[in-house]
Chain A
Amino acid sequence: MFTAIKKGRLLTGLVAVGAVVALAGCASGDPLDTSSTSGGDAAEGGAIVIGSQAYYSNEIIAEIYAQALEANDIEVERQFNIGQRDAYLPALESGEVQLFPEYTGNLLQYYDPETTAKTSDDVYSALAGALPEGLEVLDQAPATDQDSYNVTKEFSESNGVTSLSDLASVTTPLTLGGNSELQTRPYGPEGLLATYGVTVGFTPIEDSGGPLTLQALKDNQVQLVNIYSADPNIAAAGLVTLEDPEGLFLASNVVPLINTDAATPEVSDVINKVSAALTAEDLVELNSQSQNDQESADTIAKNWLEKVALF
Chain B
Amino acid sequence: MNLLLDGIAWILDPANQTGPSGWFARLGEQLAYTFGAVAIAALIAVPLGYLVGHTGRGRDIAVSLSGGFRALPSLGVLILLGLGLGIGFKAPLLTFVVLAVPPILAGAYAGFEAVDRRTIDAARAVGMTESQVIRKVEVPLGLPLLIGGLRSAVLQVVATATLAAYVSGGALGAFIFAGVATRDYAQTLGASILVTTLALVLEGIFALLQKLVVPRGVVAKELKDVRARSSRTRAVMGTPIREGK
Direct contact of A and B (CB under 8 A): yes
B interface SS class: helix
CB interface residues, B 161-177, toward A, < 8 Å: 165-168, 174, 177
Q: Which residues does chain B contribute within 8 Å of A184, judged by CB atoms?
A: 178, 182, 184
Asked if A183 is an interface residue, CB under 8 A from chain B, the answer is: yes
How far is it, in angstroms, between the C-alpha of A207 and the C-alpha of B166 when the chains are bound? Answer: 8
Asked if B183 is an interface residue, CB under 8 A from chain A, the answer is: yes
Could you tell me the distance in whole angstroms from the C-beta of A93 to the nearest C-beta in chain B? 16
Q: Which residues does chain B contribute within 8 Å of A216, judged by CB atoms?
A: 86-87, 168
- Counting chain A CB atoms within 10 Å of each CB, the highest count among B86, B166, B174 belongs to B86
Which chain B residue shows the least CB distance to A215?
B86
- Counting chain A CB atoms within 10 Å of each CB, the highest count among B83, B177, B181, B183 belongs to B181
> Known contacts A84-B181, A86-B183: does B165 contact A180 (CB below 8 Å)?
yes
How far is it, in angstroms, between the C-alpha of A212 and the C-alpha of B82 when the chains are bound? Answer: 7
Asked if B67 is an interface residue, CB under 8 A from chain A, the answer is: no
Asked if B204 is an interface residue, CB under 8 A from chain A, the answer is: no
CB interface residues, B 45-87, toward A, < 8 Å: 82-83, 86-87
| Top 8 A-B pairs, shortest CB-CB distance | A181-B181, A180-B178, A215-B86, A205-B168, A216-B87, A181-B182, A206-B166, A180-B177
Could you tell me the distance in whole angstroms from the C-beta of A177 to the nearest C-beta in chain B? 8
Q: Which residues does chain A contribute within 8 Å of B87, judged by CB atoms?
A: 177, 203, 205, 212, 215-216, 221
Which chain A residue shows the least CB distance to B87?
A216
Using a CB–CB cutoff of 8 Å, the interface residues on chain A facing chain B are 84, 86, 177, 179-181, 183-184, 203-207, 211-212, 215-216, 219, 221
Asked if B226 is an interface residue, CB under 8 A from chain A, the answer is: no
Q: Which residues does chain A contribute within 8 Å of B82, judged by CB atoms?
A: 212
Could you tell me if A212 and B86 are in contact, using CB atoms closer than 8 angstroms?
yes
Asked if B88 is an interface residue, CB under 8 A from chain A, the answer is: yes
Which chain A residue shows the least CB distance to B179?
A180
Instruction: List 5 additional contacts besides A180-B182, A211-B83; criterion CB under 8 Å.
Output: A203-B168, A206-B165, A206-B167, A206-B168, A212-B167
Which chain B residue shows the least CB distance to A110?
B183
Which chain A residue shows the least CB distance to B20?
A201
CB interface residues, B 81-121, toward A, < 8 Å: 82-83, 86-88
Could you tell me if B88 and A181 are in contact, using CB atoms closer than 8 angstroms?
no
Residue from B88, B181, B183 in contact with A179 in the complex, judged by beta carbons closer than 8 Å = B181
Could you tell me if B178 and A204 are in contact, using CB atoms closer than 8 angstroms?
yes
Asked if B44 is an interface residue, CB under 8 A from chain A, the answer is: no
Asked if B180 is an interface residue, CB under 8 A from chain A, the answer is: yes
Q: Which residues does chain B contribute within 8 Å of A204, judged by CB atoms?
A: 165, 168, 174, 177-178
Q: B142-169 vs A: 1/0 string, CB under 8 Å?
A: 0000000000000000000000011110
Q: Which residues does chain B contribute within 8 Å of A221, judged by CB atoms?
A: 86-88
Could you tell me the distance in whole angstroms from the C-beta of A215 to the nearest C-beta in chain B? 4
Q: Which residues does chain B contribute within 8 Å of A180, judged by CB atoms?
A: 165, 174, 177-178, 181-182
Which chain A residue shows the least CB distance to B185?
A86
Could you tell me if B86 and A206 are in contact, using CB atoms closer than 8 angstroms?
no
* A–B pairs, 28, beta carbons within 8 Å: A84-B180, A86-B180, A177-B87, A177-B168, A179-B181, A180-B165, A180-B174, A180-B178, A180-B182, A181-B178, A181-B181, A183-B178, A203-B168, A204-B174, A204-B177, A204-B178, A205-B87, A205-B167, A206-B166, A206-B167, A211-B83, A212-B82, A215-B86, A215-B87, A216-B87, A216-B168, A219-B86, A221-B87
How far is it, in angstroms, between the C-alpha of A180 and the C-alpha of B165 when the chains are bound? Answer: 9
Which chain B residue shows the least CB distance to A222?
B87
Q: Which residues does chain B contribute within 8 Å of A203, judged by CB atoms?
A: 87, 168
How far is it, in angstroms, between the C-alpha of A184 and the C-alpha of B166 when the chains are bound? Answer: 18
Could you tell me the distance in whole angstroms from the C-beta of A153 to the nearest C-beta in chain B? 20
Could you tell me the distance in whole angstroms from the C-beta of A204 to the nearest C-beta in chain B? 6
How far is it, in angstroms, between the C-alpha of A206 and the C-alpha of B184 when the chains are bound? Answer: 17
Could you tell me the distance in whole angstroms from the C-beta of B191 to the nearest C-beta in chain A? 12
Q: Which residues does chain A contribute within 8 Å of B83, judged by CB atoms?
A: 211-212
Could you tell me the distance in whole angstroms from the C-beta of A294 to the nearest C-beta in chain B? 14
Q: Which residues does chain B contribute within 8 Å of A84, judged by CB atoms?
A: 180-181
Which chain A residue shows the least CB distance to B85?
A215
Which chain B residue shows the least CB distance to A184?
B182
Which chain B residue shows the least CB distance to A181?
B181
How far is it, in angstroms, between the C-alpha of A181 and the C-alpha of B86 when the chains are bound? Answer: 20
Could you tell me the distance in whole angstroms from the C-beta of A61 to the nearest C-beta in chain B? 21
How far is it, in angstroms, between the C-alpha of A286 and the C-alpha of B213 when the chains are bound? Answer: 62
How far is it, in angstroms, between the C-alpha of A183 and the C-alpha of B184 when the chains are bound? Answer: 13
How far is it, in angstroms, between the C-alpha of A286 and the C-alpha of B184 when the chains are bound? Answer: 33
How far is it, in angstroms, between the C-alpha of A177 and the C-alpha of B165 when the chains are bound? Answer: 13
- Counting chain B CB atoms within 10 Å of each CB, the highest count among A84, A180, A184, A205 belongs to A180
Could you tell me the distance in whole angstroms from the C-beta of B44 to the nearest C-beta in chain A? 27
How far is it, in angstroms, between the C-alpha of A180 and the C-alpha of B168 when the chains are bound? Answer: 9
Q: B174-211 vs A: 1/0 string, CB under 8 Å?
A: 10011011111000000000000000000000000000
